[in-house]
Amino acid sequence: MYGLIGKMLTAPGQRDFVIDILLQGTDAMPGCRSYIVARDPGDENAIWITEAWDSQEQHRASLALPAVQQAIAQARPHITGFGERFETHPVGGHGL
């Protein structure tokens, strides 16, 4: 399995808008076992995204899906950067 935990930074006042975009169409990503979008309680402009996939290849392939491409295009003007990014190898847990 392949895991990814990343921090996304948004323009002031745009975090909830970007979260709404990120949550659209996430149920149609083949190989995705878990996709969690969370507000950073210490930074009002930060979002954490935690993903678990059957494989790294399926994660890469998801980036080409029309719904994902549309979400990226819609959110891009409101994203100011990215923070920490961690790759993991999930071994089990609830929801996997």
| Model pTM score | 0.91
Kindly tell me the sign of the dihedral angle through the C-alpha atoms of 37, 42, 44, 46. negative
CATH no., domain 2-88: 3.30.70.100
Q: What is the pLDDT along the chain (96 residues), one digit of tens a residue?
A: 999 999 999 999 999 999 999 998 677 899 999 999 999 999 999 999 999 999 999 999 999 999 899 999 999 999 999 999 999 999 988 877
The ranges assigned to domains in the chain are 2-88
